[in-house]
Amino acid sequence: MPEVYRIADAMPPHFHVLVLLAAFTGLRFGELAALQRHDVDLERRTISVRRSQAETRTQGLTITAPKSGAGIRTVAFPASLVDELAAHLSQHVEPGRSGLVFVGQRGGRLRRNNIRRVWLQALRAAGLSDVHFHDLRRTGNTLAATGGATTCELMHRMGHSSVRAALIYQHLVNGCDQAIADHVDEQIQRSRRDRGGSDGLSGT
């Protein structure tokens, strides 16, 4: 947990929340890159995953539907991120309901190479090494598991595809997914207290 904040604090301001959402919701990079304003519900504290960005040498950047039905999902995020996400939406996103939530430093689409450059800089500033952006997704999965999520609930939250996950998804209670996010929220609050009471989320 402290390492996540150290990396987020060392990132440029418009990538600060990107790191936190990746770590505390487990969304994939391509899913985060394709998020639009109307996918984020601050009141309900949910993010709707409806599309994903892919990047190839032949086709460049493309926006497509998730590879499987399990990838289309709604994921709850911790209450501690509401203010930071609200500030991000007011300062760093494209205009309009369909505006991208995360863009590059010059306003263009997110690219893995651009993120990698600032990511490595942030790791050095945070005194860390051998950490990959995808490790944030594993952090989110671990936090959800320690919150008591069942295997099927984890499959839903992470967007894993299987027959069993698809069947259980129909019966998944939203309140249970919210409880997972509440557990993550408790871990965030504990981390803040351990850091001396500072929220450490200014992004500067």
Catalytic site residue from 50, 51, 160, 192 = 160
- The burial of 174, by beta-carbon neighbours within 10 Å (0-12 exposed, 13-18 middle, 19 or more buried), is given as exposed
Catalytic site residue from 44, 134, 164, 193 = 134
Of 49, 46, 56, nearest to 33 by C-alpha is 49
Catalytic site residue from 50, 92, 137, 183 = 137
Is 134 in the active site?
yes
Is 137 in the active site?
yes
Catalytic site residue from 5, 6, 16, 28 = 28
Is 169 in the active site?
yes
Q: Which residues are catalytic?
A: 28, 134, 137, 160, 169
